[in-house]
Structure 1
Amino acid sequence: MAAKGNGSGDLARGMDLLWGTADRPSRGPKPSLSVDQITRTAVEIADAEGLPAVSMQRIAAAFGFTTMSLYRYVPGKAELIALMIDMAIGERPDLDGVPGGWRDRLAEWARRCLRTFTRRPWLLEVTNVHRVMGPNELGWMDAALAVLAAAGFTPVEQHDAFLLVVGHVRSVAHFTVGADRLRVADWSAAMGERLMRDADRFPAVVAAIQGGGYAKASDEPLEFGLRCLLDGLEKLLAERG
């Protein structure tokens, strides 16, 4: 039972569940729950209380079921998290209506991606590993790659550029969501006091702080990084003619 609770270990079964192609049982009582209901409840718990609060027992209790009864629908926690990710990310962004060229579309993709992470910080943790991706998550990737392909980047460049952009988004998100944001004021006060005592040892850091380098709005790091990345990508295209 312990192994069952951690996941079935069957990659094909997990993919079928995630992509909605799993066979439905032809015998036995009619299911009184659905995978969608279970996943939606898990996402609601994670949104309200964080990922550690999500458990098969907690979800079963929300429906008045036993924990073991949920395994008829979801083999275990690993498969549940995969389902949660795809539901929480949502459908692929429609970038066709974004005015401007490929730079504007890719920048808008990054902004929407950041909003998703800041709205659901627990996604940062569970998407930072190699795993099977669902149709919604792949849809987001496909939308970004389509923009890069239309701009004229090669397949290898599309992949590398995508990793650069999504890596920048994730980095910004890590410093602007959840508990990190709540600790910024305390961190700044403590570090500021310490640095003033040892200003001669860290002159560049002190100068940057005193010059306002660490007092920017939370959305500026995203835009600055995007501008640098997009300038570099545009230069690559220009050099190739």
Structure 2
Amino acid sequence: MHRVAAQLGVTKMALYRYVPGKAELVALMVEAAIGPYPPVKVRHSGWREQLEEWAGQLFDVFRRHPWALDATVGPRIMGPAELSWLERAVSALDSTGLSGAERMDAAALLVGHVRGITQQARATGPAGNPEAQLGALLGDLMQAHGERFPALTAALTSAARSHGQDQAWEFGLQRILDGLAALIDRRVR
């Protein structure tokens, strides 16, 4: 609160006229940064396409506002804009046969994937490719110690052939959606 007050050129106590505490201030910041879920431009017929679009848009939000990764962890105050994102993901799974708890868990699983990939990208910087950087670091280790880690050496050799192409985002997203599809298929039978 003190730092925010200083940036605004007011006293810390002046901020308390507008927000009761830090938690509410952070919630307002998140609301302003992420905004409500954008209006759907293309109507997707299936839940899978809807969740692919949703995850991609959430990924873009976290890339534009990396501080929001830390601000949106754990139990906290959530505003209507943030709730609209969760509503969109959960509602995409309507009519799939999944229970409400399973739809919430699916949304949490997708958020976890988005957060993980965004955090990796943030750690490597704006021009970084996390997989290529990890491959380079591990490549040196494998040259010295590869005989102790044959499966890892083989995997890194295979990854090097794709020039360290960053595939973790799409690979993870599709495997999560494949798992949901299998569960939904079992429920429909």
Change (3 A) 1:155 1:78: closer
Pairs within 5 Å for 1:24-43: none
1:207 is aligned to 2:154: yes
Q: String of CA shifts for 1:105-138, please: whole Å, max 9, x gaps.
A: 0110000011111111111112111112111111
Q: State the match for 2:5 in structure 1.
A: 60
Q: State the match for 1:230 in structure 2.
A: 177
Q: State the match for 2:74 in structure 1.
A: 129
Tell which has more relative contact order, 1 or 2 (C-alpha 8 A, sep 6+): 2
| Residue identity opposite 2:22 in structure 1 | K
Normalising by structure 2, what TM-score?
0.84
**After TM superposition, which residue ranges in structure 1, 4 or more long, deviate above 6 angstroms?**
none
Q: String of CA shifts for 1:85-107, please: whole Å, max 9, x gaps.
A: 12212112333724341110011
Which residue, 152, 158, 166 being the options, matches 2:103?
158
Change (3 A) 1:78 1:160: closer
Q: String of CA shifts for 1:152-209, please: whole Å, max 9, x gaps.
A: 32212212211221111111111112x3335957665443222210011111111111
Which residue, 141, 145, 159 being the options, matches 1:194?
141
Aligned mates of 2:165, 2:134 — CA distance in 1: 15
| Residue identity opposite 1:146 in structure 2 | S
Secondary structure of 1:215's counterpart equals coil
Post-superposition offset of 1:58: 4.1
Aligned mates of 1:65, 1:159 — CA distance in 2: 41
Change (3 A) 1:112 1:133: same
Q: State the match for 1:93 in structure 2.
A: 38
Secondary structure of 1:152's counterpart equals coil
* Cα pair 1:107 1:226 within 8 Å, conserved: yes
* Cα pair 1:95 1:105 within 8 Å, conserved: no
Aligned mates of 2:3, 2:67 — CA distance in 1: 17
Segments of 5+ residues of structure 1 without an aligned counterpart are 1-55
* Cα pair 1:89 1:136 within 8 Å, conserved: yes
If you compute each CA radius of gyration, which structure gives the higher value, 1 or 2? Answer: 1
* Cα pair 1:60 1:70 within 8 Å, conserved: yes
Secondary structure of 1:133's counterpart equals coil
| Residue identity opposite 1:158 in structure 2 | R
Which residue, 216, 228, 231 being the options, matches 2:165?
216
What is the alpha-carbon root mean square deviation over aligned residues?
A: 2.4
Secondary structure of 2:24's counterpart equals helix
Change (3 A) 1:239 1:78: closer
Normalising by structure 1, what TM-score?
0.67
Segments of 5+ residues of structure 2 without an aligned counterpart are none
Give aligned pairs, total: 183
Q: String of CA shifts for 1:43-96, please: whole Å, max 9, x gaps.
A: xxxxxxxxxxxxx34443444433322221123323211211122121123337
| Residue identity opposite 1:72 in structure 2 | R
Secondary structure of 1:149's counterpart equals coil
* Percentage identity across paired residues of the two chains: 42
